């Protein structure tokens, strides 16, 4: 008797990016938090997403190059999503371009606007490897 092969669910996208406005009570300053995580939940480790950020404050451009995953350097294993967080302190209330690269190959572009009321995505691509959303979504 042949056993049925189990295949993982096909995901619409690999990553999620949550953009929120936060406050650092130590520095006493607001910042924009970019929190990346994988859709996939890993059983053995809570991996780290390797991302190289490039921020151009003058041109209002943010670029995040997603290079892959690495295992954490801990003694105890823990399951969960892979993650990465970036705090952007020097923001202004304006519209920013957000470029996301996956392994320096696929490039997609979003635009989002920061206002005193919150953060709103103003432009998103038709297809993407990442789901970007804000606290208002």
DSSP string, the chain: -PPPPP-PPPPS-SEEEEEEEEEETTTTEEEEEEEEEEEEEESS---EEEEEEEEETTTTEEEEEEEEEE----SS---EEEEEEEEE-S--SSEEEEEEEETTTEEEEEEEEEETTEEEEEE--SS-SEEEEETT-
Q: What is the pLDDT of residue 104?
A: 65
Domain that holds residue 95: 15-134
Give pLDDT tens digits along the chain (137 positions).
555 554 555 667 889 999 999 999 999 999 999 999 999 888 877 788 999 999 999 999 999 999 989 887 766 677 888 899 999 999 999 999 999 999 867 899 999 999 999 999 999 998 889 999 998 76
Answer yes or no: is 3 within a domain: no
Answer yes or no: is 7 within a domain: no
Answer yes or no: is 5 within a domain: no
Q: What is the pLDDT of residue 15?
A: 92
Q: What is the pLDDT of residue 1?
A: 52
Q: What is the pLDDT of residue 111?
A: 97
Answer yes or no: is 77 within a domain: yes
Question: Around Cβ 122, how many Cβ atoms within 10 Å?
Answer: 10
Burial 2-15 (b: 16+ CB within 10 A, else e): eeeeeeeeeeeeeb
Query: Is the pTM for the entire model greater than 0.75?
Result: yes
Answer yes or no: is 40 within a domain: yes
The number of folded domains in the chain is 1
Which residues, in sequence order, are bridge partners of residue 99?
63, 109
Q: What is the pLDDT of residue 42?
A: 83
Answer yes or no: is 1 within a domain: no
């Amino acid at each position: 008797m042949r056993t049925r092969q189990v295949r993982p669910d096909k995901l619409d996208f690999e990553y999620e990016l949550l953009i929120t406005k936060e406050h650092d009570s130590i520095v006493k300053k607001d910042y924009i938090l970019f929190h990346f995580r994988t859709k996939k939940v890993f059983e053995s480790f809570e991996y780290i997403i390797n991302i190289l950020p490039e921020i151009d404050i003058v041109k209002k451009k943010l670029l995040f190059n997603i290079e892959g995953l690495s295992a954490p350097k801990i003694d105890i294993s823990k399951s969960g999503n892979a993650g990465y967080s970036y705090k952007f302190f020097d923001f202004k209330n304006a519209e920013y371009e957000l470029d996301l690269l996956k392994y320096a190959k696929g490039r997609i572009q979003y635009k989002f606007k920061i206002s005193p009321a919150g953060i709103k995505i103003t432009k998103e691509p038709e297809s993407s490897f990442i789901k970007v959303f804000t606290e208002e979504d």
